[in-house]
Every structure is written in C-alpha cells, then in structure tokens.
C-alpha cells in the first residue's frame, strides 16, 4: 500500500510539473532575431525574444546581456529570467555581442554591439510591439557592465531615458587589476562608476556577499556615489553567494525565487 501511495505521489507531482511547464510555455512566445552588429554586418548578432505578443497595444520591454568576461557565454544564460519577465507581461530580449578572442580583439566592439542592439530595437519598436519609453536594460557580470555603459550613456545624452537598470553581479568599475588589461587604453570611457550622474534612472543590483570577481566594496562604493547624485540604487545582497550565483545550474530554488521576486517588484515600481 505504501508503495502504491509513493507511486501515486510521484505521478501527481509529474502531472503538476507538466502542467506548470505547459502553463509557462503558453504564457509567452519565443523567437530568435538576427540583428546587425555595430559594423553593420547583417544578422551577425543573435537576440532571443520572449513574448507576449502585442495584441493590445505596445508593451514594456527588458533588454538583457549575458556574462562571460566579455570572452565567452551566450544569450541563453539569461533565458530563465527573460522568460519570467515575459510571463509577467514584458517583452524580454537576451542579446548576443561580439566576444574577445573570437570575433573581436577590443572590448570597444562589445560595448558598440550592445548599443547597436538597443538602437535596432528602437528602430523596430512598432513591429516588435514595444514601448521604448517603458524600457529597462540589464545584464550579468560583463553583460551587466555593457548594459551599464548603454544605460548611463543614453540617459546622460537624453537619447532615451531608460526606466531602470537590473544587474546580476555586474562589473561596476573597470579600474581594478583584474580588468586593467582590457580597459587600460580607454581610461574611464567605459568605467560605469566614473560615468554616474544625476541623470541616471533607478538601478537594482543583485549581488553575492562573497563575490571575489566584483568585490562587495566596489558595489557599495558605486551605490554610495549613485545615491550622492540623488539616484536610487537598490542593492540586494545574497549572503554567502559568490560570482555567478544567479546561474540556473547554481542557484537554489530559494535564490531563484528571491531573484525573480525582487526584479519583478523593481520593474513594477518603475514601469
């Protein structure tokens, strides 16, 4: 009898999981876009788009860039988060950019590609069904850095005032020994902390307390400088977590649930 009960419980759990999966799949649509890079090479960049479709007017959007030290990785890294945003009613994009040592030898091209993806979305906003006045940008680690470069530059020049920024253990400053070789030729041109100003929109940073790649001290310095400008910069600290803690193969269900809840709360507050 106990064996039958266990089998029944496993069957019920499987059905529940399948229903949950089908519900998630039905809540948003997915397609792959092929976008030109900053040099105009047609279809060079893969951008993953997660619905919903725009049946009732233009929708808010979230543009994300993956991590990988500017040298590796791909847009599927942030697919779980893009899917969550899509299920909440946002059109979410997870974008590719050229990688150092593969198809570029300068981090300048990485930044330029991030800007190019954003500009493509602006130019195709109507057909994409997105409202660029309700657009957020973000990313993870190196991708979080690229997103900050786009975010701070465009807010400063007034080309577009993003509604907000979300960073998953983002590189908030390039002035460290770890990143010196990549950025020494550019000075502070691509250093987010040096580019902060009072024109920036609200920011959310999700960070592990034990991150050895982007130390917590540097993130707190970034937060303090932002707040000195009167810019909202919420720092959500995950105790005991290290760099890359948000990745699907590492994050516990509890961490994933918290990451989703905090990000969605931020989006809702500033949409």
Contact in structure between 250 and 218 (CB atoms under 8 Å): no
Total domain count for the chain? 1
Query: Is residue 107 a contact partner of residue 100, using CB atoms and an 8 Å limit?
Result: yes
pLDDT of residue 161: 72
DSSP characters over 49-98: EE----SSS-EEEEEEE--STTTS--GGGGHHHHHHHHHTT-EEEEE---
Say if 253 falls within a structural domain.
Answer: yes
pLDDT at res. 3? 38
Domain-located, residue 129: yes
Q: What is the CATH number of the domain that holds 87?
A: 3.40.50.1820
CA proximity to 184, closest of 171, 175, 197: 175
Q: Which residue in 62, 134, 71, 60 sits closest to 99, CA to CA? A: 71
Q: What is the mean pLDDT of each run of 10 residues along the chain (271 residues)?
A: 37 35 52 96 96 80 98 96 96 98 96 97 94 96 98 74 94 94 93 94 97 97 97 98 95 96 98 89
Q: Which domain holds residue 185?
A: 28-270
3-state secondary structure of 105: coil
Per-residue model confidence (pLDDT) at position 67: 98
What pLDDT shows up at residue 130?
95
Asked if residues 64 and 92 have their Cβ atoms less than 8 Å apart, the reply is: yes
Residue 6 included in any domain? no
pLDDT at residue number 57:
81
SS3 3: helix
Q: Is residue 103 part of a domain?
A: yes
What pLDDT is attached to residue 180?
87
The answer to whether the bond into 52 is cis (omega within 30° of 0) is yes
Residue 131 lies in a domain: yes
**21's tokens:** 């999966």
Domain presence at residue 36: yes
DSSP reduced 3-state for 240: coil
Question: Which SS3 state, helix, strand or coil, does residue 132 take?
Answer: strand
In a domain, 69, yes or no: yes
Could you tell me whether strands 45-50 and 30-35 are parallel, antiparallel, or unpaired per DSSP bridges? antiparallel
76, HSE (Cβ side, Cα atoms, 13 Å)? 3
Q: What's the chain's Rg over C-alpha atoms?
A: 19
Say if 3 falls within a structural domain: no
């Amino acid at each position: 009898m106990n064996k039958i009960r266990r089998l029944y419980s496993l069957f019920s759990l499987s059905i529940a999981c399948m229903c949950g999966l089908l519900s998630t799949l039905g809540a948003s649509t997915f397609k792959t876009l092929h976008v030109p890079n900053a040099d105009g090479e047609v279809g060079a960049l893969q951008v993953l788009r997660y619905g919903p479709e725009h049946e009732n007017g233009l929708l808010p959007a979230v543009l994300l860039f993956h991590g990988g030290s500017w040298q590796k990785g791909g847009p599927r890294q942030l697919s779980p988060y893009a899917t969550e945003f899509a299920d909440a009613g946002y059109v979410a994009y997870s974008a590719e950019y050229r990688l150092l040592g593969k198809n570029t030898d300068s981090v300048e091209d990485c930044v330029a590609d991030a800007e190019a993806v954003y500009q493509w979305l602006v130019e195709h906003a109507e057909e994409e069904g997105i409202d660029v006045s309700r657009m957020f940008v973000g990313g993870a680690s190196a991708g979080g850095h690229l997103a900050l470069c786009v975010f701070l530059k465009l807010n400063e020049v007034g080309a577009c005032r993003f509604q907000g920024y979300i960073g998953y253990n983002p590189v908030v400053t390039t002035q460290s020994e770890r990143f010196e070789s990549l950025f020494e030729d550019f000075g502070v041109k691509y250093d987010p902390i040096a580019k902060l100003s009072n024109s920036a929109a609200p920011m959310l940073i999700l960070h592990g307390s034990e991150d050895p790649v982007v130390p917590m001290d540097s993130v707190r310095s970034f937060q303090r400088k932002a707040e000195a400008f009167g810019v909202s910069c919420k720092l959500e600290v995950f105790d005991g977590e290290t760099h890359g803690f948000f990745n699907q193969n590492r994050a516990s269900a509890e961490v994933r649930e918290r990451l989703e809840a905090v990000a969605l709360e931020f989006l809702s507050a500033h949409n």
